[in-house]
Amino acid sequence: MCELCRSAGPNRRSFLKFAAAGAAATAALPTFLSGPAAAQSLPQGVGQQGRRTLIRGGHVMSMDPAIGDFERGDVLLEGSRIVEIAPSIDAPGAAVIEAGGRIVMPGFIDTHHHQFETALRSFLPNGIMYATPEREGARNYLDDILGKLSVVYRPDDVYISELFGGISQLDAGVTTVHDVSQIHHSPAHSDAAIRGLRDAGRRGVFGYFEGYGADAQYPQDARRIRDEHFSSDDQMLSMIMGGEAYLPDVDPLDLWRLGQDLDLPIALHVVGSLGMAETMDRLIPHFTDKHLFIHMTGMSDATWRRARDVGAHVSLSVPIEMQMRHGMPPIQKALDMGIAPSLSVDVECTMTADFFTQMRGAMTLQRAFANQAALEGAENAPTLLTSRDVLEFATVNGAKDLWLDHKVGSLSPGKDADIILLDAEALNVAPLNNAPGAVVNLMERSNVETVLSAGEIRKWKGEMVGFDLPALTDQITRSRDYLFETAGIERSLFD
């Protein structure tokens, strides 16, 4: 963990010195709290090898059909792993986390997040992806975020955005992220992104996408990155190869072959409003079960059929797709084709990165389509999505789409303990009448009370563990100021 995260006090000078040096992470998170919850002692040794931990008396929603749900149940951990789930478990000597009145479930899994943009949060609240005649002079994502701001990032800017964004998502119960980091302007930028992911203390999938400038080494640096940072499968971080089909002067098949040579899955944005339908049709023969297609707006039936037939994966960012003119989110199309999608947040320059927003967006849009079809008398109106369905999108499907379902995505014996405890006695939820419905339709990040990542406590009783948040906020604010000044973009707090 970073030096600031190990410190028990707000030593901002040492943090700034550390951040500039870009030191590697070596230490585990401590049992120190930065806020009022410091008075509530943490159970000792949770997540350490050989240490047993009992999560006792919660409303257990395992997301594993073989395990089921328990109105009152216990979850037993040993070190980083889940070993037993039952209505009641006798575990003498185990550390105990009391879960009465809490929903206990697997953490959320975000399959597509441009986390390097954390410093740019809310800058583009009304923008769309690209310039259009009717919006002449208005800021847009491709020209302003990627074309002007991203190109001035230093490695230190990458690091603090990655770290701060990761901590923020942990706070919201997102225990795994696929970081689509289009910020590889040099090998140092790539290494900084990986350090930031690692220092946040959660599971991460490093998406190696493009960069800009004379020092960019994409895609050939993929081999070094894999060998130096991802040589073992027994770690919290893994890697995906970015294989975009819209980059100028780059054959996507060269990128796909490189990913296959390195035994890496391949991910790419698939956006109909960027004119990609014909491109994807041409690439159909090369689809595999190691492809993750992001958005999939405006694609032909042939592309969808081939994706389904080979077992390719689909990630939807429903709120962003509606907001930024990607095209109509294809949630009903995916369901019609028999493809169970995962969910992702995309960009915080425009929309929040919490998963309650993602689940509600997906569910309400699909039900709007289905309800309208029923009202219009359609003979085969689509089946309405349920709260349980979108919870599967957010957990089980996310794990499958990142090739991590052998490790996470459900509360199952043998899997890693990526677990969240949600407060079902809070003012916005009580009295609890339906657990999946409460999570999807009522909750938000304030209900995320406790978070475990591979068995270690990252959030406890509503407070993040081991981070000097004021100092981190100072650092990302300094980074923000540098980025806008260097890019020559004036900020206005109000429109």
Q: Do 247 and 379 belong to one domain?
A: yes
If DSSP states are collapsed to H, E and C, what string results for 409-455?
Answer: CCCCCCCECCEEEEECCCCCCCCCCCHHHHHHHCCCHHHEEEEEECC
Is residue 199 situated within a structural domain?
Answer: yes
Cα–chain-centroid distance for residue 311? 22
Q: Do 102 and 114 belong to one domain?
A: no
Is residue 13 situated within a structural domain?
Answer: yes
Domain containing residue 418: CATH number: 2.30.40.10
Is residue 42 situated within a structural domain?
Answer: no
Is residue 20 situated within a structural domain?
Answer: yes
Residues in contact with 437: Cβ distance below 8 Å, sequence separation at least 6, in sequence order: 387
Q: Do 298 and 442 belong to one domain?
A: no
Q: Do 394 and 367 belong to one domain?
A: yes
The structure tokens listed for 353 are 């990165």
Among residues 262, 111, 235, the alpha carbon closest in space to that of 175 is found at 111
Residues in contact with 17: Cβ distance below 8 Å, sequence separation at least 6, in sequence order: none
76-91 burial code (b ≥16 CB/10 A, e <16):
bbbbbbbbebeeebeb
Is residue 459 situated within a structural domain?
Answer: no
- Is residue 133 classed exposed, middle or buried when 0-12, 13-18 and 19+ CB atoms within 10 A define those classes? exposed
Does residue 382 have a cis bond before it (omega within 30 degrees)? no
pLDDT for 106: 98
Q: Do 415 and 483 belong to one domain?
A: no
pTM reported for the whole predicted model: 0.93
The structure tokens listed for 296 are 């999939």
Is residue 21 situated within a structural domain?
Answer: yes
pLDDT digits (tens, 9 = 90+) for 90-134: 999 999 999 999 999 999 999 999 999 999 999 999 999 999 999
- Positions in the chain whose pLDDT score sits under 50: 1, 3-39
Q: Do 291 and 439 belong to one domain?
A: no
Query: Where is the domain boundary, 401, 428, 443?
Result: 401
Q: Do 330 and 416 belong to one domain?
A: no
pLDDT for 2: 52
- Is residue 308 classed exposed, middle or buried when 0-12, 13-18 and 19+ CB atoms within 10 A define those classes? middle
Instruction: Determine contact, residues 115/165, Cβ cutoff 8 Å.
Output: yes
Q: Do 292 and 379 belong to one domain?
A: yes
Instruction: Determine contact, residues 420/107, Cβ cutoff 8 Å.
Output: yes
Among residues 76, 410, 416, 393, the alpha carbon closest in space to that of 233 is found at 416
pLDDT for 303: 98
As beta bridge partners, residue 459 has: 451, 464
Is residue 484 situated within a structural domain?
Answer: yes
pLDDT for 193: 98
Instruction: Determine contact, residues 207/181, Cβ cutoff 8 Å.
Output: yes
pLDDT for 12: 36
- Is residue 368 classed exposed, middle or buried when 0-12, 13-18 and 19+ CB atoms within 10 A define those classes? exposed
Cα–chain-centroid distance for residue 86? 29
d(CA 161, CA 168): 10
pLDDT for 431: 98
Among residues 469, 446, 416, the alpha carbon closest in space to that of 106 is found at 416
Domain containing residue 322: CATH number: 3.20.20.140
Instruction: Determine contact, residues 423/429, Cβ cutoff 8 Å.
Output: yes
Q: Do 283 and 417 belong to one domain?
A: no
Domain of residue 139, residue span: 109-401
d(CA 331, CA 337): 10
- Angstrom distances, CA of residue 341 to CA of 109, 395, 399: 12, 11, 11
Q: Do 27 and 76 belong to one domain?
A: no
The backbone torsions φ and ψ at residue 146, rounded to the nearest 5 degrees and listed phi first, read -80, -40
- Total residue length of the chain: 495
Instruction: Determine contact, residues 330/356, Cβ cutoff 8 Å.
Output: no
Instruction: Determine contact, residues 201/453, Cβ cutoff 8 Å.
Output: yes
Q: Do 161 and 276 belong to one domain?
A: yes
What is the tally of structural domains in the chain? 3
**Pairing mode of beta strands 174-181, 203-208:** parallel
Q: Do 113 and 101 belong to one domain?
A: no
pLDDT for 233: 84
Is residue 460 situated within a structural domain?
Answer: no
